A and B are shown apart, each in its own frame.
Chain A
Amino acid sequence: MAPAETALQQAIERASRATADLDRRVFHLKTLHDTACELYGLNQPRKIMETFLLTAMGLFGVTRGLAVLMNARTREGHLAQRGLSVPEVAACERNLARIAAHFLPEDRLPLHAELVLPGEAVAPGLLPADTAIILKQKVDGSHALLSAIGPRRSGEPFGEADRTVLLNLAGTMANALAQNLFHRQIQHLSAGLTRQGNELQDSQRQAGRARATLDRQIFHLQTLYEFTAELSPLVATDKLLDAFLLTLMGIFGASRGCVLLCDRKRGTVRTADRGIPGPRELSLEEAEKILYRGFQATEERRLAPMSAGFILDPTSVFPESELGFAVHTAALFTVDDALLGLVALGPLLSQPELSAEARELLRGLTVNWMAFLKNAQAFETIQALNEDLHRINADLRRTIAELTEARHQIRILEVAKNRLKQLIQREVERAGRFRPADVVLMVALSAVLALAFNYSSPNGIPVVPEAVFQAQAPRVDVLTAHRMLSRSQAVLVDARPAELFQQKHIAEAVNIPAALFDVIFPMKLGPALKPEQVVLIYGRTLSKRYDDEVAQRLLQRHDQVMVLEGGLTAWEEKGFAVSP
Chain B
Amino acid sequence: MKWPGRLKALITHPILGLLLRVYVGGVFIYASMYKINYPGEFAETIASYQLVPYWGVNLMALIMPWAELVSGILMVLGVRTKSAAAAIGGMLVMFSLAILITLLRGIPIGCGCFTSVEDPLGWGTFWRDLLWLGMTLQVYFFPSALQLEGRLIESLREVEA
Contact = CB atoms under 8 A, between A and B. Distances in A.
Interface of A: 420-421, 424-425, 427-428, 430-435, 438-439, 442-443, 445-447, 449-451, 453-454, 457, 459-465, 468, 497, 499-500, 502-503, 515, 541-545
A541 B55 CA distance: 12
Contacts of B50: 541-544
Interface string B35-68: 0111110011011111111110111011111110
B85 to A, nearest CB: 8
B58 A442 contact: no
B57 A427 contact: no
B57 A450 contact: no
Contacts of B59: 463-464
Provide the main secondary structure of the chain A interface. helix
Most chain B CB within 10 A, of A431, A457, A468, is at A431
A432 B153 CA distance: 11
Contact of A451 (B47, B62, B108): B62
Nearest to B57: A543
B150 interface: yes
Given A431-B150, A461-B39, A499 B108 contact: yes
Interface in B125-150: 140, 149-150
8 contacts: A433-B82, A442-B71, A443-B87, A447-B66, A453-B66, A457-B37, A459-B38, A544-B47
Nearest to A452: B66
B18 interface: no
Contacts of A541: 47, 50
Contact of B51 (A430, A449, A542): A542
Interface string B85-111: 111001000000000000000111100
A428 B153 contact: yes
A424 B152 CA distance: 10
Contacts of B106: 503
Contacts of B156: 424, 427-428
A457 B40 CA distance: 12
Contacts of A462: 58
Given A433-B82, A438-B83, A442-B84, A543 B52 contact: yes
A464 B58 contact: yes
B22 interface: no
Interface string B106-120: 111100000000000
Given A453-B36, A464-B55, A443 B67 contact: yes
Contacts of B85: 434
B80 interface: yes
Contact of A497 (B40, B48, B74): B48
Contacts of A447: 62-63, 66
Contacts of B71: 442
B33 to A, nearest CB: 12
B67 A543 contact: no
A495 to B, nearest CB: 13
Contacts of A425: 160
A443 to B, nearest CB: 6
